[in-house]
């Protein structure tokens, strides 16, 4: 196995651990056991230990989410149809995991203490980049820049909050309800903007 492969395995293992157990719910020995790698491999790639590995996992999760969003938005002329498709795929993923997997970014954010300044900074950056990406797509639906950014924040907070509620309920119902309400409201706004109101 190449050094690059072992680094990727460690990052993906940490990312999965964040999704299912949060930042402090998993120890380094468990990560190494799951990855099937020796301790030396971890400290070779991440001399800063668990925090450095978590930062790499956060960056990777952000990149994966950004790539996925680009692919979804490329498939639809109407960005609001793309949003609906994104939520549908999220519902399928969370149901397939039997409500064990949430968003690694949200899980890490909830598990951080105020002292985890580097991690919080990285998470804030990841959420901001995803917000800006969504806002750029939403603006194509005819929304002014500020309104598109507001809507992007609403979408992300509904998604993250919905994931937590879905996990607690063991049902996709909370996300379905949140996005049904959100998308119907947004479509009305879109019509008003199109008619110059």
Q: What is the pLDDT of residues 112-127, one digit of tens each?
A: 889 999 999 999 999 9
Instruction: Tell me the pLDDT of the chain averaged across its residues.
Output: 90
> Is residue 164 pLDDT above 70, yes or no?
yes
CATH number of the domain within which 180 lies: 1.10.357.10
Give domain status of residue 24, yes or no: no
Domain that holds residue 156: 51-195
CA–CA separation, 173 and 159 (whole Å):
12
154: nearest Cα among 179, 122, 123 = 179
Give domain status of residue 6, yes or no: no
Single pTM value for the model: 0.87
User: According to the per-residue pLDDT averaged within each range, which of 14-28, 103-117, 133-147 is highest?
Assistant: 133-147
pLDDT at position 98: 80
Give me the number of domains the chain comprises. 1
Give domain status of residue 45, yes or no: no
pLDDT at position 60: 95
Give domain status of residue 124, yes or no: yes
Q: 168 or 100: whose pLDDT is higher? A: 168
Contact between 88 and 117 under an 8 Å Cβ cutoff? The reply is: no
End-to-end CA distance of the chain: 61
Give domain status of residue 40, yes or no: no
176, burial (CB in 10 Å: exposed 0-12, middle 13-18, buried 19+): middle
Give domain status of residue 132, yes or no: yes
């Amino acid at each position: 196995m190449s050094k690059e492969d072992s680094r990727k395995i460690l990052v993906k293992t940490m990312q999965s651990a964040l999704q299912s157990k949060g930042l402090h719910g998993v120890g380094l020995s468990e990560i190494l056991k799951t990855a099937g790698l020796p301790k030396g491999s971890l400290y070779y790639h991440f001399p800063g230990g668990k925090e450095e590995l978590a930062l790499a996992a956060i960056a990777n999760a952000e990149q994966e989410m950004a790539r996925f969003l680009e692919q979804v938005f490329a498939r639809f002329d109407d960005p609001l149809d793309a949003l609906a498709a994104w939520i549908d795929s999220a519902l399928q993923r969370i149901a397939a995991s039997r409500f064990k997997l949430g968003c690694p970014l949200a899980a890490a954010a909830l598990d951080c203490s105020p002292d985890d300044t580097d991690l919080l900074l990285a998470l804030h950056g990841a959420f901001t980049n995803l917000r800006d990406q969504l806002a750029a797509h939403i603006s194509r639906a005819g929304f002014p820049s500020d309104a598109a950014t507001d809507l992007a924040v609403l979408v992300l907070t509904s998604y993250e909050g919905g994931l937590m509620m879905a996990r607690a309920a063991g049902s996709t119902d909370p996300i379905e309800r949140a996005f049904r309400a959100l998308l119907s409201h947004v479509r009305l706004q879109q019509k008003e903007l199109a008619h110059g109101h």
